[in-house]
């Protein structure tokens, strides 16, 4: 199929999965006629009809709550939240129902729904169009969380999420929606949840990242070369997490820097560091360093570059670690 | 076919008082009446026994639904078995009207896994604990069923307090827009724990909310099982005809504590409670059937002891449930549990075993 | 004192068309009319220039409010300065009616910290981006002010789409119960981005929601600045008299893209847009004042060029704002920042400096 | 004042603070006439009137959202959420407004509100009366989080929260509401946020805990003695966190077990472990172990003991660590 932008790969996945499985249905604000504010759902309503690509009222808890009911009626709903920070009204449904309903039926009923949304900062947008909410999702039992960093994974992880019998939240890094371009397999393409990907082999230290932080980590690895050989590990799926890949890389390099856009406290980098502190402590040649957003409200966009992890900050952390 | 009369305060009513207030009629055969009566008594007995079991320490916290039976049995009767019920904790036992064993519901209140059922077995969703959050579920189910061309109606039960929640509002909004075949059944028992309905909403009636969602709003005497049946039957017809959702406000008064842990003496009007108890819904129907000559004292006794027998068997079965293995903690969260769960369980077993 | 006429569709109206539709009257002096006109033109000019600045890359994404000026200026005129305004992004510039420099609002759209003000300086709360979530803020403010015995009314602006959100519902519910002196002002421009109001709610009119909260609901022609003024004035009176909240539905039609990034050609009815543009709100008022003999062509020109001057100065000032220091990232989150912030900043400075 | 139960200490703090500051106001579901379902607000309405102890409609986002407006009108609202899992509808207000509004005014306006709620498991309650939601709160910029473990701290931390110029979430461990009894200073009593407390000195390892896990950790320390000398550190305030106390204890003992009821992934124990992995790695004699709830929905209460961290699990972790 050739090269696609990341957002086009999302759109492609939706086309393929709606075609493949007549019980898949897309719903959300402006996903129909408009094709979504990022055009991720463009063409779906024309192709599959207004009943399988549904423009909903402006009510996120309503979207996710009705999706629970749609599952009970035999559908596999794919909900779009228009932006990261506008998904919070639906957290109640997510935590109290989406993550618990299969359990509540003692495993008898499935809730194969997907919540996908553009997320993350760096896009020069008004307030609250920049959040990285993965902690809220990943901490919640009963849901899975995937975050692609390139077009092929965006397609494959979304396909996996749609086919998964359990609820999956897919966070799509909007910063690289239209800058990440790459080869995407045509037709059905599935990247199993729970498999990390070594984007670049290295021997001196590991940069652990996901989403838009992966290309950033790659640039940092470039910067560090030839001074040091950095491995870049793209987690791709935060839950389930490919712990083996993480531990293998840590064992190999003995030095780990974790990069995340979200605020630091209880961000996913903390979980990565905690796993390393528990299971890899004897492999480590130095501290586990985190390069993250700060514990502050995401700033005015003229200042956002100071908030977002930068190549410079990653390189600085790597150098400190290498020197330790 | 049926005659529904206005009651005081504009509520729909069928059952009179045998004196000044005339009885109305509904199109039910004597057998159907007796079946409905049996269901009412089953619920009543379930509720009264549960309170006893709670006092005896045999079940945990329990949400009493005494005098709410007419709303539950009356509305359920208007449904077909293929229709789905979305209960709140106040309708915890509604499944027994659908053939669910009493032991299942008792197990739920005992915190035993045997209390959690497969909704598809009875077309009864799980008991919803967080207020109003199941309204969108029912709406999604009804909408989704209609999309699939299936003729299934959903009914969702919630309280007066629930109408203040955003979830109620969003569910109702979707219901209207999607023309979902769903019935929003509001048990207005005038209290949300200690908060009276006047402190809940400034609306004159909760049914006033319906037009804001583009659906009809109906007010009915919640102590009148036949009026509830009639109102629900009409709503079901409307839903099946593709005319969308209905909001039913069934008005009653909470005569029991909110739940076993509650102390209503701190807030409630005891005189009003006493009045309401006088006029409670099972007795009202009993007297109505007596006036029709359908129900006699022997049948009342028989029905009650049958129901008591169901409960005796139910609690015995619930108490006979063996304790579940801790492995269950790790099951059912996911279709395929992550590998860490097996490690966690192994560790836990090692520790518990030691 | 005033004569408000019914318009087509039952909307309140004052301004006629100079032909078949008669003009009504409001109790404003010619000076007040001209002042109101000046405000309308200021908003219009702000909006039109902002779109140009956006195209020139001088401001970022911008939410256009062309043809919404009458709703904003008309309602604002009914308030006293001590009354608080809670705007959405659609009313981003409403502060300029309260003396806020144009540069402040422009800076907001430029993502520069100079765009964030102290609400107490203008009695204008921050621009609310997440839909409907500021409704409870306004209600809490109004309720809290009344509790303190202060005579302050709050008005909160939101769109037709916002009425679907749980936050709207919960805010409105509180407003009714607390009898808060607040005005819920709904700009029904018939679209929430690409979603038409018919897909938003099955209610016949959005004002139908009001009775569900126990408050009056009023419908007014949103393109008629005087009708908006009158409706708001009445609501303000009611609020000040202690009679609680009012829901105002001001009906108009969105003629511009939702925001600069939007492409309405994918969904909108272009003919209807053209019609609406013909009848846009500033022109309507201009012609009305012309019929009254209050406004002439010179004054129109003068008013416009004054407003243009304000904008020229505004953008110049906004562009002259020096870039802020990264230290600001760590300020204002807390009254006393935790010690880690100083360490983070020091590290950042070291890295940025290197 | 003598001995009080933990919930009585909460009540006492509210009485003292409402008396002290006429701008303090309590609102929530059933807090007035009933005095709250746990009786934490008993007597307030009688004493201070229905305008300063307000029974609200059943709408958590409405409670927190109006509290934001109340702050703007000059009040210091103390919101009660009736239970942990029923606070989720208010997360949207918390994340998008409560944590951001001071920032939004460039520090010009204060939002001195408190959200307090009973939290945690082990109480044999129906579903969703058992959650430990601290991660959702602590990850959110602009809010502070305190969790007392005993009556005196319950009073002192709540007083500090009420006096704090910023929003504070206070999670009260309902498991020990009526079993934790202790001396509580009479009248004004403030425990500053951001100060941890060494509940028990020890030299071989540190048990880090908060809330109801503190008495549990103490029992584990008893169990471990005399075989090993365990220090018990009660964090008391998760944000701001007393990092110095944490690092000092880790430096002293070299071995750390962190105990938390919440699900493991991205729980606060992960943050503690991450801080140690970053700043104390050379002090550690072994891995940082976490004893936590599992990444599953909180179970049916007949099984809850298997879910909750137990003395046995803490002791087991400690022994493994000591042997490593
Ligand atoms: C979201 C949420 N908030 C709070 C509670 C605690 N709570 C349980 S029952 C109840 C009152 C419900 O009143 P109402 O809706 O009238 O139903 P009723 O109990 O009277 O049947 C409250 C506040 C809850 N279960 N869920
Ligand atoms: C909670 C939330 N969900 C989604 C959005 C994204 N969004 C921004 S504007 C908008 C449409 C709003 O429509 P309406 O309320 O009618 O106001 P209008 O823009 O027409 O003035 C949407 C969905 C948001 N800002 N907040
Ligand atoms: Mg009730
Ligand atoms: Mg609109």
Q: Are residues C95 and C201 in the same domain?
A: yes
**Residue B164 sits at the chain C interface (C-beta within 8 Å):** yes
Same domain? C259 vs C339: no
Spatial contact of C35 and C61, defined as CB atoms under 8 Å apart:
no
Structure confidence by residue, pLDDT tens digits, A153-165: 999 999 999 999 9
Task: Return the structure tokens found at B157.
Answer: 């039960």
Active-site annotation holds for A129:
yes
How far is the C-alpha of B115 from the C-alpha of B118, rounded, in Å? 10
User: Is the domain of C314 the same as that of C336?
Assistant: no
What is the interface pTM, i.e. ipTM, of the complex? 0.98
Q: Is the CB of B187 under 6 A from ligand 1?
A: yes
pLDDT band at B310 (very low <50, low <70, confident <90, very high): very high
Work out the percent of chain B whose per-residue pLDDT is above 70.
99
DSSP category for residue B3? B
Do C68 and C140 share a structural domain? yes
Largest CA distance in chain C: 73
Determine phi and psi for A133, rounding to 5 degrees.
-90, 20
**Ligand 1 test: best mutation among B189, B192, B200, most atoms within 8 Å of CB?**
B192
Distance from CA of A197 to the nearest CA of B (A): 18
DSSP-assigned states of every residue in B53-111: HHHTTSS-S----TT-HHHHHHHHHTS-TTSEEE-BGGGTTGGGGGT--HHHHHHHHTT
Number of the ligand 2 atom closest to the C-alpha atom of C160: 16
- Measured in degrees and rounded to the nearest 5, phi and psi for residue D130 equal -140, 10
Model confidence at C5, in pLDDT bands (50, 70, 90)?
confident
CATH, residue B304: 3.40.50.970
Is the pLDDT confidence value at B354 over 80?
Answer: no
Do B66 and B86 belong to one domain? yes
Query: Tell me, what's the pLDDT at C8?
Result: 63
Q: Are residues C334 and C312 in the same domain?
A: no
- On the question of pLDDT at C2 being above 80, the answer is no
Q: What is the mean pLDDT of residues C168-175?
A: 98
B150 and chain A in contact, CB less than 8 A: yes
pLDDT digits over B133-190, tens only? Answer: 999 999 999 999 999 999 999 999 999 999 999 999 999 999 999 999 999 999 999 9
Mean pLDDT in residue range D180-193: 98
Q: Both C303 and C349 in a single domain?
A: no
Residue-wise burial string across C92-113, b where 16 or more C-beta atoms lie within 10 A, e elsewhere: bbbbbbeebbbbbbbbbbbbbb
- Taking all residues of chain A, what is their mean pLDDT, rounded to a whole number? 98
- According to DSSP, the β-strands at B154-159 and B84-86 are parallel
Does the distance separating the beta carbons of C199 and B177 come in below 8 Å? yes
Q: Give tens-digit pLDDT for C37-48.
A: 999 999 999 999
**Taking 60 as the threshold, does the pLDDT of residue C1 lie above it?**
no
Which residues does chain C have within 8 Å of residue D101's beta carbon, measured at their own beta carbons?
126
Considering its fold, how many domains does chain B have in total? 2
When pLDDT is cut at 50, 70 and 90, the band that residue A56 belongs to is very high
Is residue C237 located within the same domain as residue C338?
Answer: no
Mutation test of ligand 1: which of B131, B186, B195 has the most ligand atoms closer than 8 Å to its C-beta? B131
Summarize pLDDT for D207-258 with one digit per residue, the tens.
999 999 999 999 999 999 999 999 999 999 999 999 999 999 999 999 999 9
Tokens 């089953």 map to which residue? B42
For A7, the token pair is 């957002």
- Residue minimizing CA distance to atom 25 of ligand 1: B130
Query: Do both B122 and B64 map to the same domain?
Result: yes
* Cβ neighbours for B229, distance < 8 A, ≥ 6 positions apart: B26, B28, B36, B74, B75, B77, B78
B283, B343: one domain: no
Q: How much is the average pLDDT of D1-28?
A: 96
Interface test with B, best of D82, D302, D312 (most B CBs within 10 A): D302
Strand order in the sheet with C154-159: C5-6, C12-13, C217-221, C246-251, C182-188, C154-159, C84-86
- The CA distance from D231 to the nearest CA of chain A, in Å, is 19
What is the pTM (predicted TM-score) of this model? 0.98
Based on the domain organization, do C329 and C200 belong to the same domain?
no
> Domain of C209?
5-322
Q: Hey, is the C-beta of D128 within 8 angstroms of any chain A C-beta?
A: yes
Residue B285 and residue B345 share a domain = no
Question: DSSP per residue over B219-281, as a string?
Answer: EEETT-HHHHHHHHHHHHHHHHTT---EEEEEE----S-SSTT--GGGT--HHHHHHHHHT-H
Phi, psi of C319 (to 5 degrees): -75, -20
């Amino acid at each position: 199929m050739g090269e696609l932008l990341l957002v086009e790969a999302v759109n492609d996945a939706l086309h393929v999965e709606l075609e493949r499985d007549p019980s898949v249905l897309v719903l959300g604000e402006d996903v129909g006629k408009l094709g979504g504010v990022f055009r991720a759902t463009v063409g779906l309503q024309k192709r599959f009809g207004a009943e399988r690509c549904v423009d909903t009222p402006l009510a996120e808890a309503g979207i996710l709550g009705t999706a629970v009911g749609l599952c009970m009626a035999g559908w596999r709903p794919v909900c779009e939240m228009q932006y990261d920070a506008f998904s919070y009204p639906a957290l109640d449904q997510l935590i109290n129902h989406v993550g618990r309903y299969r359990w509540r039926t003692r495993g008898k009923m499935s809730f194969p729904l997907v919540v996908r949304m553009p997320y993350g900062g760096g896009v020069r947008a008004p307030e609250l169009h920049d959040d990285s909410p993965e902690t809220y999702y990943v901490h919640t039992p009963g849901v899975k969380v995937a975050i692609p960093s390139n077009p092929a994974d965006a397609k494959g992880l979304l396909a996996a999420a749609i086919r998964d019998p359990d609820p999956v939240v897919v966070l799509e890094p909007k910063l690289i929606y239209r800058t990440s371009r790459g080869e995407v397999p045509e037709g059905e393409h599935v990247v199993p949840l729970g498999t990390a990907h070594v984007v670049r082999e290295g021997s001196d230290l590991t940069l652990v990242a996901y989403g838009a932080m992966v290309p950033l980590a790659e640039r940092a690895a470039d910067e560090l070369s030839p001074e040091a050989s950095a491995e870049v590990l793209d987690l791709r799926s935060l839950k389930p997490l490919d712990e083996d890949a993480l531990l293998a890389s840590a064992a190999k390099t003995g030095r780990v820097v974790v990069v995340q856009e979200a605020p630091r406290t209880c961000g996913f980098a903390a979980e990565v560091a905690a796993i390393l502190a528990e299971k890899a402590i004897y492999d480590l040649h130095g501290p586990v360093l985190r390069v993250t957003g700060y514990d502050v409200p995401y700033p005015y966009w003229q200042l956002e570059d100071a908030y977002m992890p930068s190549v410079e900050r990653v390189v600085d952390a790597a150098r400190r670690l290498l020197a330790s | 076919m049926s005659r529904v009369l206005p009651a005081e305060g504009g509520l729909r009513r069928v059952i009179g008082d045998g004196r000044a207030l005339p009885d109305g009629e509904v199109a039910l055969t004597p057998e159907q009446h007796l079946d409905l009566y049996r269901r009412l008594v089953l619920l009543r007995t379930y509720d009264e026994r549960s309170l006893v079991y709670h006092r005896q320490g045999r079940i945990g916290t329990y949400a009493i639904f005494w005098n709410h039976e007419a709303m539950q049995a009356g509305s359920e009767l208007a449904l077909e078995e293929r229709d789905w019920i979305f209960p709140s904790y106040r309708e915890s036992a509604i499944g027994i009207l659908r053939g669910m064993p009493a032991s299942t519901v008792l197990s739920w209140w005992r915190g035993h896994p045997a209390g959690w059922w497969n909704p598809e077995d009875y077309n009864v969703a799980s008991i919803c604990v967080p207020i109003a959050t199941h309204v969108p579920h029912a709406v999604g189910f009804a909408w989704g069923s209609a999309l699939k061309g299936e003729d299934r109606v959903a009914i969702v039960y919630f309280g007066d307090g629930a109408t203040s929640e955003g979830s109620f509002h969003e569910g109702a909004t979707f219901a209207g827009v999607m023309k979902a075949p769903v019935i929003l059944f509001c048990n207005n028992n005038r209290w949300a724990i200690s908060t009276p309905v006047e402190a809940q909403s400034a609306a004159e009636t909760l049914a006033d909310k319906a037009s804001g969602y583009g659906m009809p709003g109906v007010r009915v005497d919640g102590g009148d099982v036949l009026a509830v049946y009639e109102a629900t039957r009409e709503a079901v017809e409307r839903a099946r005809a593709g005319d969308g959702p209905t909001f039913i406000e069934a008005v009653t008064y909470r005569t029991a504590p909110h739940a076993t842990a509650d102390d209503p003496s701190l807030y409630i009007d005891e005189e009003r409670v006493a009045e309401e108890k006088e006029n409670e819904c099972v007795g009202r129907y009993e007297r109505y059937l007596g006036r029709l000559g359908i129900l006699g004292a022997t049948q009342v006794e028989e029905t009650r002891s049958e129901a008591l027998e169901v409960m005796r068997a139910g609690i015995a079965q619930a108490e006979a449930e063996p304790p579940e293995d801790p492995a269950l903690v790790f099951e059912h969260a996911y279709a395929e549990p992550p590998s860490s769960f097996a490690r966690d369980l192994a560790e836990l077993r090692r520790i518990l075993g030691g």
